[in-house]
Amino acid sequence: MPSPPPIPRKILTAATLVLLLASCQAGSSPRSVPTVPQIGSDLKCGGGDHGYTDQQLGWGFCYPSSWRYTEKVQATDSPSGVDLTFEITCLKDCKPLCPTPASGTPASCPTETGLFGFMIISTDDRGGASDLGSWLSAKLPHATRGDPLDWGNALEATTLADGRRVALTPHDVVILDVHPSLLDLDGEMTSRLATWKFTY
């Protein structure tokens, strides 16, 4: 039998380009791992949680294994530092943010699927501040400071009146800003504050 005719080179090249472009499409699926190296073993994550550690920024935390996220990095000038934004999708067993009934009785709130959340974690230069109060006075003078907060191994931490959490580490100040959403992202992050590890 005669052998089949060879496939023209142009067709092979076009097919290769199509495959390469398809594999490089941004946003085709949210990543469940960050783009920076991780050391999950340094975190004490329980209940099947996953660990996220950013070696360059010097912190890490545990999060539900059902979360998938897309992260973006942006430098900031005031205060000087880096913002990491997390767009989170909860794939299963998602805890929704349930409104409190007027009666004050806790509402029955079943878990849902496919809820979204958004948060920003800022890592800012400590700038020689001796304590968290002096840093806040210099960098966020209009912020109202709340009660002290236990947050991982932070040297000092507090909650601001607008809901942001601020931690002083040996070299930086880390701010956790959880935006309101249908996913009870604030509740999930609050219950995991003890898992945070600050290395810088």
In the chain, how many domains are there? 1
**What is the b/e burial string over 83-110, where b = at least 16 CB atoms within 10 angstroms of the residue's CB?**
bbbbebbbeeebbbeeeeeeeeeeeeee
Say which residue, 13 or 179, is predicted with more confidence.
179
Give pLDDT, residue 140: 94
What CATH number corresponds to the domain at position 121?
3.40.1000
Give pLDDT, residue 54: 93
Asked whether the predicted pLDDT for residue 5 surpasses 70, the reply is: no
Give pLDDT, residue 68: 96
Assigned token pair, 68: 């998938």
Q: Report d(CA 88, CA 114) in Å as an integer.
A: 10
Asked whether the predicted pLDDT for residue 107 surpasses 50, the reply is: yes
Q: Report d(CA 71, CA 50) in Å as an integer.
A: 16
For the whole model, what pTM was predicted?
Answer: 0.76
Q: Is 79 inside any structural domain? A: yes
Query: Which alpha helices (DSSP H) does 24-176 contain, by range?
Result: 132-139
Q: Is 15 inside any structural domain? A: no
Task: Determine how many CB atoms are found less than 10 A away from the CB of residue 193.
Answer: 18
Cβ atoms of residues 87 and 129 within 8 Å: no
Q: Is 12 inside any structural domain? A: no
Cβ atoms of residues 132 and 166 within 8 Å: yes
- pLDDT tens digit sequence for 66-98: 999 999 999 988 788 999 999 999 999 898 988
Task: Name the residue range of residue 41's domain.
Answer: 31-99+109-198
Q: Is 26 inside any structural domain? A: no
Q: Is 50 inside any structural domain? A: yes
Give pLDDT, residue 115: 94
Q: What is the mean pLDDT of the chain?
A: 81
Ranked by mean pLDDT, which of 9-13, 109-113, 123-127 comes out on top?
123-127
Q: At 23, is the pLDDT very low, low, confident or very high (cuts 50, 70, 90)?
A: very low
Backbone phi, then psi, for 158, in 5-degree steps? -155, 165
